């Protein structure tokens, strides 16, 4: 039984998703990917980009494909850059599944976006996907100038599992003395494997993303253990010294509580944080542009992304009805 106070459009979409999305735990990964691709709408390749180019680089597991998006517009100064990891439970989705979202983000934020076609689980268990993200980050810093991007302002971003990869690659860059990450943009991120948080208890059934599915995703991605901070970022001994973070959660999402707790911990350990919860919305909603509430929510998100990418972003404490931010002064 879902909450009775949901927006009618949210209720309608959740009902459709609950009825039509496969039970991921009942299929082998390869078959599951085929099912999901078969239900995907054709690519629209909108909004139009000045450049939308696939680039193959040398990755730690072989060829690694990146898709570089450059928006239209006069270039007065180099654009900020976002290296993006898609969601999909570490098991499915790809460059095409998030093509419209990446294009929309590039246009709205006026940024170069580099999407990463990282290796998927269970064929490639953790930390393979994170290592691909790290390789993409290094390539981007070295090469994005030729696309009009600013190599000194390269952020990482991702939704769901991609949020995990953005958080863990930020930790890896810190520990390895790697590229300086300008910001980490975590969109309803999957950060831990505690299935007894408040949001798991409240929204683990009936809201599209389920506790059962989340357990399965973790079992596919990290079957050999989850002790490493490069797999489960909440296990890091310290978050100090990480890049500024935008943590956007969805109220009706089982991982919502862990995202909010991670934002609070980042702030407590001295990392500038913008934390925003999208009330009344569910996991994955940002990639459902047909939902009436997604457009306005994206506009809020783009404002927050522009702010976290602004070199003038500084510590402070912000609270208003829409944005719950906690940063250390």
Q: What string of DSSP letters covers 28-63? A: -HHHHHHHHHHTSPPP---S--SEEEEEEEEETTEE
7-27 burial, b if ≥16 CB within 10 A, otherwise e?
eeebeebbeebeeebeebeee
Residue 91 in domain: yes
Residue 318 in domain: no
Rg for the chain (alpha carbons), in Å?
A: 18
Residue 316 in domain: no
Query: Quick one: pLDDT band at residue 314, thresholds 50, 70, 90?
Result: low
Q: What percent of the chain has pLDDT over 90?
A: 91
- Average pLDDT of the chain? 94
d(CA 25, CA 47) in angstroms, rounded, equals 34
Residue 18 vs residues 55, 206, 207: alpha-carbon distances, Å: 36, 7, 8
Omega before 122 within 30 of 0, i.e. cis: yes
Residue 314 in domain: no
Please report, for the domain that includes residue 121, its CATH number: 3.40.50.1820
Residue 191 vs residues 5, 128, 260, 313: alpha-carbon distances, Å: 28, 16, 10, 24
64-122, pLDDT tens digit by residue?
999 999 999 998 899 999 999 999 999 999 999 999 999 999 999 999 999 999 999 99
d(CA 204, CA 120) in angstroms, rounded, equals 24
Total number of domains in the chain: 1
Q: Range of 261's domain? A: 8-309
pLDDT of res. 315: 46
pLDDT of res. 168: 98
125-157, pLDDT tens digit by residue?
999 999 999 999 999 999 999 999 999 999 999
Residues 319-325: contacts with CB under 8 Å, at least 24 apart: 322/276, 323/274, 323/275, 323/276, 324/260, 324/275, 324/276, 324/277, 325/273, 325/274, 325/275, 325/276
Give phi and psi for 10, each to the nearest 5: -65, -45
Cα distance from N-terminal residue to C-terminal residue, the chain = 43
Residue 3 in domain: no
Residue 210 vs residues 33, 89, 170, 206: alpha-carbon distances, Å: 18, 12, 27, 7
pLDDT of res. 318: 36
Residue 275 has pLDDT above 60, yes or no: yes
pTM over 0.85: yes
Residues labelled as active-site residues: 160, 253, 283
Residue 179 in domain: yes
Residue 326 has pLDDT above 60, yes or no: no
Contact 289, 99 (CB under 8 A): no
Taking phi over 0 as left and psi of -120 to 50 as alpha, with beta for the rest, 230 belongs to alpha
Taking phi over 0 as left and psi of -120 to 50 as alpha, with beta for the rest, 205 belongs to beta
pLDDT of res. 312: 85
Mean pLDDT of 269-297: 97
Residue 103 in domain: yes
Residue 322 in domain: no
């Amino acid at each position: 039984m879902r909450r009775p106070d949901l927006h009618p459009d949210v209720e309608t979409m959740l009902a459709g998703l609950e009825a039509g999305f496969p039970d991921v735990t009942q299929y082998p990964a390869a078959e599951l990917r085929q099912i999901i691709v078969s239900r995907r709408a054709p690519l629209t390749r909108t909004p139009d980009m000045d450049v939308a180019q696939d680039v193959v680089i040398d990755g730690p597991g072989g060829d690694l494909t990146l898709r570089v998006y450059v928006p239209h517009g006069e270039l007065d100064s180099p654009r900020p850059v976002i290296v993006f990891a898609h969601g999909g439970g570490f098991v499915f989705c790809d460059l095409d599944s998030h093509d419209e979202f990446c294009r929309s983000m590039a246009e709205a934020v006026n940024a170069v976006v580099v999407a990463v076609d990282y290796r998927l689980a269970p064929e490639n268990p953790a930390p393979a996907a994170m290592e691909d993200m790290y390789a993409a980050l290094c390539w981007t810093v070295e090469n994005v100038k030729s696309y009009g991007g600013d190599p000194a302002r390269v952020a990482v971003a991702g939704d769901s599992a991609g949020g995990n990869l953005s958080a863990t690659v930020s930790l890896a860059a810190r520990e390895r003395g790697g590229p300086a990450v300008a910001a980490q943009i975590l969109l309803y991120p999957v950060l831990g494997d505690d299935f007894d948080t408040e949001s798991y208890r409240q929204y683990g059934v009936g809201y599209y993303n389920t506790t059962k599915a989340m357990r399965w995703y973790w079992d596919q991605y990290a079957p050999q253990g989850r002790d490493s901070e490069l797999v489960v970022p909440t296990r890091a001994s310290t978050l100090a010294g990480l890049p500024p973070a935008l943590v956007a959660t969805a109220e009706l999402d089982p991982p919502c509580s862990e995202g909010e707790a991670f934002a609070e911990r980042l702030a407590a350990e001295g990392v500038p944080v913008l934390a925003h919860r999208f009330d009344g919305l569910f996991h994955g909603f940002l990639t459902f542009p047909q939902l009436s509430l997604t457009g306005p929510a994206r506009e809020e998100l783009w404002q927050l992304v522009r702010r976290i990418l602004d070199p003038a972003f500084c510590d402070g404490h912000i609270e208003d009805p829409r944005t719950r931010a906690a940063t250390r002064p």
